[in-house]
């Protein structure tokens, strides 16, 4: 199956500081990730995982290089759009270490907040949110507050929130860090299902080796560059 | 669109209400301070309005009995009476005295007037018990705030006075309660010396002629006559200072109350500034508590305007609720103050405007924090 490219990065460079204080974090990184792929991003602490994630997420500006999100070139040695926040709002979903739901909004409001900001009507946003909550088997908690849900339930809501704006890409920063082994595997399986069924590319930063077999590919930062480790289907399930 | 400010306030409603009540108490005190000023203005005019004199004739080159010591002869009232245009004229005294009371002495202003005269300083509408003075001696009408009852005896100077009447809301321009005594008693209290002193003075060749002095002559002008022209005639021929009712009011309000008004104004301004700073600090703290959520919202791509609108709305709501609590608070406590507090609706609306402006200014600290929030802070725990 010839899947569309969701993320394309070419010759990406990220340095911090200058002159004698120059720290090179990423050097000439180039890679592609297709829609429907679940990719793990691994590296030792301080190697630049979060920096790479933030550059792809249009949060942190690279030093040089090119980034495509879908067919749109968002970075060409500078941001191509003035409002990178709009790109994030429309193309990217984020999942964090903890669920980080807005505590003063109930579950369905957390999920509908972004679509409503994008101009989707309240009714349509709620309908879509209910579909997602049902898909993630948490629809019965739609009008609860996040404080009334367990960690695993909240993380599912966070996934629903990340999907609410129909993103092409989901960037997940250690989404299983706060979960036990069983729940971690459950979340990764869910992400795998989402990647395929919702046709989105998912990059997940992780340190958890137990969940690695569930990824399509493993992207590793080595010597400031990107190296891929492909995993066979038999290893995943 | 979800109203983030409303949801946030609902989430921490108890905390929000307690905070608004705290700020509200400050605003309530601001309203009380304004009420003190209004009360002073009202107090200043009560006696003038009750006497309702068109002209106040006082010692030459003095500002009259409320501002400076003034002495004129009592019979000046007869001289004034025959001046063309004068309808009525009477002599009056005003003096600060201390009445012995059950608990502690009461500081009052005693108004002495001719009980058979044509100008009566006691406004019948304010008389709530008893009667006006009927006898030349040893009767007193007191205001209810002094705490005296009808028929109670009060020692004044060498004599015992009987309370024959009680008035309500009668105070001097300084806010002290008013009492009314006959002119003869007032002259005795103010100008008479003890027998021994009179003997000493006579031995020294000094005449004790002050018993016929008063502090002012008040007069009413016949209709059809110009008050200023009549006043000018008196100034010209009688060598006295003459003030119209308006001038007397101006002396009381502008000259005497001005400093107090400035003091109260300064206090009020300081309180408003303090309230603004407190609101700003509360909003700053509330924003700090939400920094993680704000970073996440920014990372997700929510526009600054949406987050800023949440902060500004919360600040405005805090200001509005604090204003409401402030009003309730001030109305609950205003009558417990010893001096008159006048709470007026226009003052409350002005304060409301100031609170709204202060809230908008206070919200800037929260807004600044929102703008500086780093969306990257949401990633990496």
| B10-41 burial: b if 16+ Cβ within 10 Å, else e | ebeeeebeebbbebbbbbbbbbbbbbbbbbbb
The domain A36-63+79-236 is placed in CATH, from the list 3.20.20.140, 3.40.50.720, 3.40.50.150, 3.40.50.300, at 3.40.50.300
- pLDDT digit string (tens) for B228-279? 999 998 988 778 899 999 998 888 877 667 788 888 889 988 988 898 888 8
Mean of the per-residue pLDDT values for chain B? 89
How far does Cα A30 stand from its chain's mean position?
18
Question: How many C-alpha atoms does B252 have within 13 Å on its Cβ side?
Answer: 24
Task: Give the residue from A62, A54, A59 showing the smallest Cα distance to A27.
Answer: A62
**Are residues B101 and B180 part of one domain?**
yes
Q: How far apart are the first and last CA of chain A?
A: 20
Q: What pLDDT does A237 receive?
A: 36
Q: Which residue has the higher pLDDT, B25 or B188?
A: B25
Q: Does residue B252 belong to any structural domain of this protein?
A: no
Cβ proximity of B108 and B146 under 8 Å: yes
B259 sits in the region (left: phi over 0; alpha: psi -120 to 50; else beta) called alpha
- pLDDT digit string (tens) for B36-60? 988 888 888 888 999 999 999 999 8
**Are residues B148 and B89 part of one domain?**
yes
| In the predicted structure, residue B151 carries a pLDDT above the cut 60 | yes
Q: Does residue B51 belong to any structural domain of this protein?
A: no
Residue B84 and residue A27: Cα distance in Å, rounded? 108
Q: Which residue has the higher pLDDT, B168 or A178?
A: B168
A57 touches chain B (CB under 8 A): yes
* Structural domain ending residue among the three candidates B239, B270, B297: B239
- pLDDT digit string (tens) for B295-314? 888 888 888 899 999 999 99
In angstroms, the Cα distances linking B376 to A60, A226, B296, B298, B361 are 8, 22, 8, 9, 28
A113 touches chain B (CB under 8 A): yes
Q: What pLDDT does A230 receive?
A: 67
**Are residues B234 and B85 part of one domain?**
yes
How far does Cα B50 stand from its chain's mean position?
17
Which residues does B contribute to its contact with A (CB < 8 Å)?
Answer: 1-2, 4, 7-8, 10-12, 292-293, 296-303, 306, 375-376, 378-381
Q: Does residue B264 belong to any structural domain of this protein?
A: yes
* CB-based contacts of B99-102 (< 8 A; 24+ apart in sequence): B99/B142, B99/B146, B99/B148, B99/B154, B99/B156, B99/B179, B100/B154, B100/B155, B101/B146, B101/B147, B101/B148, B102/B147
Q: Is the dihedral of CA A50, A56, A57, A59 positive or negative?
A: positive
Among A69, A83, A85, A159, most B C-beta atoms within 10 A, so best to mutate, is A85
**In chain A, alpha helices (H):** 49-56, 84-91, 107-117, 122-135, 151-163, 181-197, 233-236
- pLDDT digit string (tens) for B176-185? 899 999 999 9
Residue A135's SS3 state is: helix
A116 touches chain B (CB under 8 A): yes
**Are residues B77 and B26 part of one domain?**
no
Residue B30 and residue B14: Cα distance in Å, rounded? 24
**Are residues B156 and B86 part of one domain?**
yes
In angstroms, the Cα distances linking A103 to A140, B124, B321 are 18, 66, 23
Question: How many C-alpha atoms does A199 have within 13 Å on its Cβ side?
Answer: 7
Q: Does residue B272 belong to any structural domain of this protein?
A: yes
Question: What residue has token string 């101006």?
Answer: B250
Task: Give the residue from B42, B44, B55, B106 showing the smallest Cα distance to B81.
Answer: B55
| A218-237 burial: b if 16+ Cβ within 10 Å, else e | bbbbeebebeeeeeeeeeee
From first to last of the 237 residues of chain A, give the pLDDT tens digit: 567 899 999 999 999 988 888 889 999 899 999 999 999 999 988 888 889 999 999 999 999 999 999 889 999 999 998 888 889 988 999 988 878 899 999 999 999 999 999 889 999 999 999 999 998 889 999 999 999 998 888 988 998 999 898 899 999 988 888 778 888 888 888 889 889 988 999 999 998 888 888 999 999 998 888 888 766 544 433
**Are residues B366 and B275 part of one domain?**
yes
Across the interface, which of B11, B292, B298 has its CB nearest the CB of A100?
B292
**Are residues B203 and B140 part of one domain?**
yes
Contacts of B14 in chain A (CB under 8 A): none
Q: Does residue B55 belong to any structural domain of this protein?
A: no
**Are residues B38 and B96 part of one domain?**
no
Tokens representing A98 are: 């903890």
* Structural domain ending residue among the three candidates B169, B204, B239: B239
Question: What residue has token string 């088997």?
Answer: A137
Cβ proximity of B92 and B104 under 8 Å: no
**Are residues B291 and B232 part of one domain?**
no
Task: Give the residue from B95, B110, B42 showing the smallest Cα distance to B65.
Answer: B95
Number of folded domains that form chain B: 2
Residue B252 and residue B229: Cα distance in Å, rounded? 23
Please provide the size of chain A in residues: 237
Q: Does residue B249 belong to any structural domain of this protein?
A: no
Q: What pLDDT does B375 receive?
A: 84
- The percent of residues in chain B predicted with pLDDT above 90, rounded, is 54
Residue B148 and residue B141: Cα distance in Å, rounded? 10
**Are residues B227 and B278 part of one domain?**
no
Q: What pLDDT does A197 receive?
A: 87
Contacts of B8 in chain A (CB under 8 A): 104
Boundaries of domain holding B336: 4-42+259-378
Q: Does residue B333 belong to any structural domain of this protein?
A: yes
Of the ranges A81-90, B103-112, B169-178, B319-328, the best mean pLDDT one: B319-328
Distance from CA of A236 to the nearest CA of B (A): 27
**Are residues B215 and B86 part of one domain?**
yes
Task: Give the residue from B222, B261, B198 showing the smallest Cα distance to B83.
Answer: B222
- pLDDT digit string (tens) for B227-239? 999 999 898 877 8
Residue B36 and residue B261: Cα distance in Å, rounded? 9
Q: DSSP secondary-structure letter at A132? A: H
Residue B356 and residue B349: Cα distance in Å, rounded? 11
Q: What pLDDT does B58 receive?
A: 93
Q: Is the dihedral of CA B127, B133, B137, B139 positive or negative?
A: negative
A173 touches chain B (CB under 8 A): yes
**Are residues B108 and B66 part of one domain?**
yes
A97 touches chain B (CB under 8 A): yes
Q: Is the dihedral of CA A158, A161, A166, A171 positive or negative?
A: negative
Q: What pLDDT does B209 receive?
A: 62
Residue B281 and residue B18: Cα distance in Å, rounded? 15
Task: Give the residue from B254, B263, B320 showing the smallest Cα distance to B34.
Answer: B263
Chain A and chain B share a number of CB contacts under 8 A equal to 77
Q: Does residue B49 belong to any structural domain of this protein?
A: no
Across the interface, which of A104, A117, A177 has its CB nearest the CB of B7?
A104
Contacts of B379 in chain A (CB under 8 A): 50, 53-54, 59, 94, 96, 173
């Amino acid at each position: 199956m010839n899947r569309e490219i969701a993320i394309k990065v070419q010759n990406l460079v990220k340095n911090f500081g200058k002159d004698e204080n120059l720290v090179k974090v990423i050097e000439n990184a180039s890679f592609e990730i297709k829609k429907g792929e679940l990719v793990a991003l691994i590296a030792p602490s301080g190697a630049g995982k979060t920096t790479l994630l933030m550059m792809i997420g249009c949060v942190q500006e690279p030093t040089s290089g090119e980034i495509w999100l879908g067919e749109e070139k968002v970075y060409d040695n500078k941001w191509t759009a003035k409002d990178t926040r709009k790109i994030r709002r429309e193309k990217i979903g984020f999942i964090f270490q903890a669920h980080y739901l807005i505590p003063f909004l109930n579950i369905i409001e957390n999920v509908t907040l972004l679509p409503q900001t994008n101009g989707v009507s309240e009714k349509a946003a709620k309908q879509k949110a209910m579909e997602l909550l049902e898909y993630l088997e948490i629809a019965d908690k739609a009008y609860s507050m996040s404080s009334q849900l367990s960690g695993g339930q909240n993380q599912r809501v966070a996934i629903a929130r990340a999907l609410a704006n129909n993103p092409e890409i989901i960037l997940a920063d250690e989404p299983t860090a706060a979960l036990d082994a069983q729940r971690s595997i459950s979340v990764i399986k869910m992400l795998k299902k989402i990647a395929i069924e919702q046709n989105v590319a998912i990059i997940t930063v992780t340190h958890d080796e137990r969940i690695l077999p569930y990824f399509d590919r493993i992207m590793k930062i080595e010597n400031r560059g990107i190296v891929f480790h492909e995993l066979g289907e038999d290893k995943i399930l | 669109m979800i109203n983030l400010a409303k949801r946030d306030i609902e989430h921490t409603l108890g905390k929000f209400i307690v905070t608004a009540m705290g700020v509200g108490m400050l605003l309530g005190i601001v309203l009380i301070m304004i009420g003190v000023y209004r009360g002073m203005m009202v107090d200043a005019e009560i006696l003038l309005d009750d006497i309702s004199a068109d002209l106040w004739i006082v010692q030459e080159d003095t500002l009259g009995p409320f501002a400076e010591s003034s002495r004129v002869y009592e019979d000046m009232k007869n001289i004034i009476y025959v001046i063309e245009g004068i309808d009525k004229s009477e002599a009056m005294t005003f003096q600060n005295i201390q009445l012995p009371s059950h608990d502690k002495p009461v500081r009052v202003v005693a108004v002495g007037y001719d009980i058979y005269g044509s100008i009566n300083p006691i406004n019948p509408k304010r008389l709530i018990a008893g009667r006006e003075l009927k006898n030349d001696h040893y009767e007193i009408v007191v205001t209810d705030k002094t705490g005296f009852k009808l028929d109670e005896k009060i020692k004044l100077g060498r004599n015992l006075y009987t309370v024959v009447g009680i008035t309500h809301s009668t105070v001097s321009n300084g806010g002290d309660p008013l009492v009314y005594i006959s002119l003869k008693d007032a002259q005795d209290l103010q100008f008479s010396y003890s027998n021994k002193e009179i003997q000493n003075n006579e031995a020294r060749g000094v005449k004790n002629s002050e018993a016929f002095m008063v502090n002012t002559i008040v007069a009413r002008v016949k209709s059809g006559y110009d008050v200023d022209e009549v006043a000018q005639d008196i100034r010209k021929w009688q060598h006295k200072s003459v003030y119209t009712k308006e001038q007397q009011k101006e002396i009381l309000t502008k000259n005497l109350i001005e400093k107090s008004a400035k003091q109260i104004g300064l206090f009020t301004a300081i309180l408003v500034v303090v309230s603004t700073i407190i609101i700003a600090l509360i909003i700053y703290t509330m924003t700090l508590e939400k920094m993680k959520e704000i970073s996440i919202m920014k990372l997700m791509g929510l526009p600054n305007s949406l987050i800023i609108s949440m902060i500004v709305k919360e600040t405005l709501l805090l200001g509005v609720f604090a204003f409401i609590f402030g009003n309730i608070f001030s109305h609950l406590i205003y009558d417990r103050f010893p001096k008159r507090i006048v709470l007026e609706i226009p003052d409350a609306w002005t304060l409301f405007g100031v609170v709204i402006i202060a809230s908008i200014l206070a919200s800037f600290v929260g807004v600044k924090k929102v703008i500086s929030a780093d969306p990257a802070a949401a990633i990496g725990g």
